[in-house]
Structure 1
Amino acid sequence: MRIAVAGGTGVVGQKAVQAAQAQGHDVVVLSRSEGADVFTGAGLEEHLEGVDVVVDALNTPSLSRRRAIEFFRTTSRHLLEAGARRGVAHHVVLSIVGIDGIDASYYAGKLAQERVVEESGVPHTIARAAQFHEFAEQISARTSLGPLTIAPRLLARPVAAREVGEHLVQIAEAAPAGRAQDLVGPEEHALADMIRRMHAHDGTSRRVLEMRFPGAYGSGLASGALRGDPNSAVLGEMTFGQWLEQEHRAG
């Protein structure tokens, strides 16, 4: 099978590329460095020649609601339209568990992306996953200043990016399903505690201060909705502690 991975150089995209290659698939990475700009559409159709499945693991660092919506709508439309012209049979998009009531900030962009995919008429599967173990690294890098790290109040059931990548490939190998089962991690954690454990593991002496972020975005984070439902979801196997020891690298 020929699988194209949009965002194939990102945190989850790299893992999806590795998982697909391990299964013997022919993988095309859709990135500007490879000559395919998904945001402008330049070079995209040429890279989708002979592709059976597109896996969309694109991401944007923006927390602006307007910018996130623009990014995810634009990139999804380009992928869907170019894929339809090239006869791509299955469009798989990565989304986030529990975001239905959080139409704010980054999550508004993901909800807009889901709607674009659902309304496209293209055979698709939306695969929602919990926050990644790697989210602790990402937040710490953005909110640390000197001896202090600010962590938003967030309850989650985090899952390893490697397992998310493997999950996306399994979905790509199957028929379009509309909505796949959610993927959540094996344990429940507060983000602040995850960062504290990561700092301790790395020998970092920063104090972690947990704060409830303002507005609808902060309320959504603190609501517990982003944990998903472990009773109806696929459960990842790697715990946060195992991830720290096996996959996390200090700094």
Structure 2
Amino acid sequence: MSKFAVAGATGRLGRHVVDVLTERGHHVVPMSRATGVDIVTGEGLAEALAGVEVIIDVASWHGSEQDAATEFFRASARNLHEAGRQAGVVRIAAASIIGADKATAGFIAAKKVHEELLLAGPLPVRILRAAQFHEFVGQLLDWQQSDVVHLPALPTQLVACRTVAEELVDLALDRDAHGSSIPEIAGPRKEIMADAARLLAARQGIEVVGIDGSGMPDAEIAAAGGFLPSPHAKLAGPTFAEWLDAQS
């Protein structure tokens, strides 16, 4: 079995990646500030990567500000490549966002830079682009902290974090993966973000009002389906409604 280091191991996606690796019998080194590893400053990184074969990078910036997120990804990509190279790491596998290559502003544009920086580094890198997570819907409701929440009525193809984690681990393990195309993973069907949020909001006594997304970064691109999966994407359940039912 391989030895993996997971950057962002305590995050929304990282917890699932650690679970999948552990269930499959791999040795996992969880990397986060909570475990004494800071991929931005590099603190604890060399020690954590000792003997590691593959890094899975699912660390993310905690806000939506483009500049701050870009600086986070710039530092993390540089440090993971450098420390990984010194430790003899074979490859890096990282999660990104479907449509990142089209983004011009906001957090997704920062992920576009992140992809570019990772691919430009000395270690081989595999990227998996994912649709927005089912788990992200609750975060959108929490951010507004109101009984009436305004959310964009924009198309998405929500996917479960567990589904993404399984696909990312498969990609990280595949010794024969190659090619210039970046694989994608999304949920089984197109949904409208505001409509999906209403299913969760109804359980919390919250009203959701759909808006057109004006003023949001790249709203026009989103409205035109720019952040929906391409024809070569893998589509996998559960749907948001199925996932939501399973939570309770």
TM-score, normalization: structure 2? Answer: 0.93
In 2 relative to 1, CA 195–215 (structure 1 residues): closer, same or farther, beyond 3 Å? closer
For residues 98 and 210 of structure 2, what CA distance do their matches in structure 1 show?
25
1:13 aligns with 2:6: no
For residues 33 and 61 of structure 1, what CA distance do their matches in structure 2 show?
15
Q: Where has structure 1 moved over 2 Å in runs of 4 or more?
A: 175-180, 205-211, 215-223
Match in the other structure for 2:183: 181
The Cα of 1:219 is off from its aligned counterpart by: 2.7
For residues 162 and 184 of structure 1, what CA distance do their matches in structure 2 show?
12
Partner secondary structure for residue 129 of structure 2: strand
Partner secondary structure for residue 192 of structure 1: helix
Match in the other structure for 1:101: 102
Question: Structure 2 matches for 1:76-225, cutoff 5 A?
Answer: 76-145=77-146, 147-175=147-175, 177=178, 179-200=181-202, 202-214=203-215, 216-225=217-226
- Deviation digits for residues 98-127 of structure 1 (CA, Å, limit 9, x no counterpart): 122212110121011111111113111011
The Cα of 1:154 is off from its aligned counterpart by: 2.3
The Cα of 1:73 is off from its aligned counterpart by: 1.0
Match in the other structure for 1:240: 240
The Cα of 1:55 is off from its aligned counterpart by: 0.4
In 2 relative to 1, CA 21–209 (structure 1 residues): closer, same or farther, beyond 3 Å? same
- CA-based RMSD: 1.6
The Cα of 1:213 is off from its aligned counterpart by: 3.3
For residues 158 and 61 of structure 1, what CA distance do their matches in structure 2 show?
20
For residues 209 and 127 of structure 2, what CA distance do their matches in structure 1 show?
34
The Cα of 1:66 is off from its aligned counterpart by: 1.0
Q: Which amino acid aligns with 2:98?
A: V
Q: Which amino acid aligns with 2:158?
A: P
Q: Conserved in 2, the CA contact under 8 Å of 1:153 and 1:213?
A: no
Partner secondary structure for residue 183 of structure 1: strand
In structure 2, stretches of 5+ residues that fail to align are none
Q: Which amino acid aligns with 1:232?
A: H
Q: Conserved in 1, the CA contact under 8 Å of 2:154 and 2:193?
A: yes
In structure 1, stretches of 5+ residues that fail to align are none
- Deviation digits for residues 28-60 of structure 1 (CA, Å, limit 9, x no counterpart): 101111111111111101100000100000111
Q: Conserved in 2, the CA contact under 8 Å of 1:130 and 1:226?
A: yes
In 2 relative to 1, CA 142–203 (structure 1 residues): closer, same or farther, beyond 3 Å? closer
For residues 54 and 120 of structure 2, what CA distance do their matches in structure 1 show?
18
- Deviation digits for residues 210-250 of structure 1 (CA, Å, limit 9, x no counterpart): 24131643333333211112x31111121111100113x6x
TM-score, normalization: structure 1? Answer: 0.92
Q: Conserved in 1, the CA contact under 8 Å of 2:149 and 2:206?
A: no
For residues 69 and 102 of structure 1, what CA distance do their matches in structure 2 show?
13
In 2 relative to 1, CA 40–199 (structure 1 residues): closer, same or farther, beyond 3 Å? same
Q: Which amino acid aligns with 2:62?
A: P
